[in-house]
Copies of this chain bind each other. A is one copy, B any other.
């Protein structure tokens, strides 16, 4: 048999995988007559949202919620007062907030309690940031969102600053903000809450590509993070291929092959990865490539 290694961090990040799994599990509620909604699309992938819709789990889209309805909080999280409001309305709240996002909620409150003014590096209108600001308010803290270095002016008025980041923030900008603050404020405490999904995905490729005969990278041809995975892989293993779906797999790639590695960019759902894995197995069986 051919050995197929799927990179542990292929495709969706941990938090998104978890949210999709919770949504999937919640679909069983629909068989009990419960209406199940997600507060906004659970992921930025229409096919995946469509797949869940066929199972009865749909993004809330103007429908009037009723007592007993189930509502799924996305991996981004929401402010605590909004969550309370949902519960007070008698809804079944299924909290799919990413644990890494929960860690940001905890970090802002910890830093506030230690007397720091909070700088949250992130996008002002991002749902995750709005949720985190809600937690900051809840624990009596004060702070600002920093989207550009311009926004830092307000922070310079404070002597002790605590910095956290939106989980998906660019490392480059985070670094700039922290460096700038370090020069201007008396005391700075930084809890790096950037999720390392992108870097661990790359580390998988560094580890797996040299060990396998063929490396297959799944993801949009126009996806920057996928192309980067492919570039890394190709530099380590000339038999690296970048595909979008299982249909693109070419049997000739797998002649005489014993070990295949698979990874995928951030926008690739697990089921597409699984289709690719199964298809490779089939191809190898037909080729009798398995020794």
Contact = CB atoms under 8 A, between A and B. Distances in A.
A161 to B, nearest CB: 9
A168 interface: no
B194 A190 contact: no
A189 B187 contact: yes
Given A188-B190, A190-B190, A178 B182 contact: yes
Contacts of A189: 187-190
Nearest to A191: B187
Contact of A192 (B171, B174, B182): B182
Interface string A156-194: 000000010000000100111011101111111111101
Nearest to A192: B182
A257 to B, nearest CB: 37
Contacts of A179: 174-176, 178-179, 182
Contacts of A191: 186-188
Given A189-B188, A190-B190, A192-B188, A175 B171 contact: no
Interface of A: 163, 171, 174-176, 178-180, 182-192, 194
